[in-house]
């Protein structure tokens, strides 16, 4: 599927975000152009664990998003990515991709936590090699529960939008960030959302390993609010002031402890994920970690992760390899850039 304009729609726990991308299919060497971006706040509880649970609430927010930002199309690509989306290595006898996809339901039942008929299956080939009995294709099996996909799709359709493709968040992040200087390198993307953190190891522009962690920035905010008996908006502001792993004055020590309690568990999970990949891929060391997502700009987070994982960490720059049209505010603002990565990658999938 190729379209000249498409919108990547990121339905997150706290916001809905949309990025409209324009492609020049006549010039294969041209960069995609971001022509419009917007976001609208979602009420608490509209999503649970990355899945829409209040369809009408999300649909209302999406209609407001289109009203406020005047997007040029209703064709959207949506993503799925939570702990009910299984992504794992799967090697298969080499055959055309359409045949692989048609045969998945007969080959993967023993790998799934649900019945095949209750799952949406896909396969992403990442390499070809000679096996003992002939050519073998290596790749990633994707299995999402049907109700997860249907819940998100229903909310989009209720808003009057047209979901033309359902993608995997980890693959979208790969498209958005494994570009430019990182296109041929081995990197890890850590997408720190409100409730979920995705870790994607990418080698040579292809995702090799994906893990979804059930913790995000909102968990730190809630920990501060509970510890200090303050509102969550106050706790969020305090979190941005205090950061993690940094010296703080005595009046901020309680907030710092609350952040560290959640942050330590999350960073250890990220570190263990990177270590697991390195242990199972000798010689394939991770050269850099790119931080993205709404929680990526937390002060001190990059250094904290770098020290724990013993690897370089940098904020992702998703707009650095794109043309950029009219955007809200300062397009060079790092904290703003971090929120757009997923929507960009989803839109880019329509050009593949």
Nearest to 333 by CA among 306, 315, 313, 347: 315
Average pLDDT on 117-124 reads 94
Does residue 30 register a pLDDT over 80? no
Dist CA 310 CA 303 (whole Å)? 10
Q: Which of 84-88, 304-308, 348-352 has the lowest mean pLDDT?
A: 348-352
**In CATH terms, are 85-144 and 181-316 the same topology?**
no
pTM: 0.92
Dist CA 294 CA 314 (whole Å)? 15
pLDDT in tens, 289-298: 999 999 999 9
Q: Which of 59-63, 196-200, 326-330 has the lowest mean pLDDT?
A: 326-330
Q: Which pLDDT value is given to residue 294?
A: 92
Does residue 350 register a pLDDT over 90? no
Nearest to 286 by CA among 215, 191, 190, 197: 190
Does residue 352 register a pLDDT over 70? no
Q: What CATH class is the domain 85-144?
A: alpha beta
Burial class of residue 199 in the structure, from the number of CB atoms within 10 Å of its CB (0-12 exposed, 13-18 middle, 19+ buried): buried
Q: What CATH class is the domain 181-316?
A: alpha beta
Burial class of residue 235 in the structure, from the number of CB atoms within 10 Å of its CB (0-12 exposed, 13-18 middle, 19+ buried): buried
Going by pLDDT thresholds of 50, 70 and 90, the confidence category of residue 3 is low
* Paired sense of beta strands 134-145 and 119-131, if any: antiparallel
Q: Which pLDDT value is given to residue 343?
A: 96
Q: What percent of the chain has pLDDT over 70?
A: 95
What the block records as the tokens of 43 is 């009420």
Going by pLDDT thresholds of 50, 70 and 90, the confidence category of residue 23 is confident
pLDDT in tens, 84-101: 899 999 999 999 999 999
Average pLDDT on 220-247 reads 96
Q: Which pLDDT value is given to residue 285?
A: 87
Return the C-alpha torsion angle 260, 264, 267, 271, nearest 10.
150
Average pLDDT on 60-79 reads 96
Domain boundaries, the chain: 85-144, 181-316
């Amino acid at each position: 599927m190729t379209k000249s304009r498409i919108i990547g729609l990121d339905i997150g726990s706290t916001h809905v975000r949309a990025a409209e991308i324009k492609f020049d299919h006549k010039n294969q060497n041209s960069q995609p152009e971001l022509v419009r971006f917007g976001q609208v706040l979602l009420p608490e509880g509209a999503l649970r664990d990355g899945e829409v649970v209040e369809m009408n609430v999300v649909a209302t927010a999406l209609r407001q998003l289109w009203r406020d930002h005047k997007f040029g199309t209703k064709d959207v690509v949506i993503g799925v990515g939570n702990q009910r989306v299984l992504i794992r290595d799967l090697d298969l006898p080499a055959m055309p991709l359409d045949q692989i996809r048609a045969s998945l339901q007969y080959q993967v039942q023993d790998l799934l936590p649900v019945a095949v008929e209750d799952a949406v299956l896909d396969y992403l080939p990442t390499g070809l090699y000679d096996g003992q009995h002939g050519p073998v294709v290596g790749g990633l099996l994707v299995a999402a529960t049907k109700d997860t996909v249907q819940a998100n799709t229903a909310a989009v359709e209720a808003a009057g939008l047209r979901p033309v493709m359902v993608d995997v968040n980890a693959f979208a992040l790969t498209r958005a960030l494994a570009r430019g200087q990182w296109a041929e390198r081995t990197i890890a993307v850590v997408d720190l959302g409100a409730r979920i953190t995705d870790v994607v190891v990418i080698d040579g522009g292809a995702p090799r390993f994906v893990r979804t962690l059930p913790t995000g920035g909102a968990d730190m905010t809630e920990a501060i609010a509970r510890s200090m008996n303050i509102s969550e908006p106050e706790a969020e502001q305090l979190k941005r002031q205090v950061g993690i792993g940094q010296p703080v004055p005595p009046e901020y020590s309680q907030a710092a402890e609350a952040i560290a309690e959640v942050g330590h568990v999350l960073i250890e999970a990220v570190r263990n994920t990177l270590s697991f990949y390195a242990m199972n891929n000798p010689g394939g060391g991770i050269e850099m970690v790119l931080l993205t997502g709404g929680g990526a700009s937390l002060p001190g987070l990059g250094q904290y992760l770098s020290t724990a994982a013993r690897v370089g960490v940098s904020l992702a720059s998703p707009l650095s390899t794109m043309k950029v049209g009219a955007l809200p505010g300062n397009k060079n603002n790092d904290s703003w850039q971090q929120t757009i990565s997923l929507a960009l990658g989803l839109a880019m999938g329509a050009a593949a």
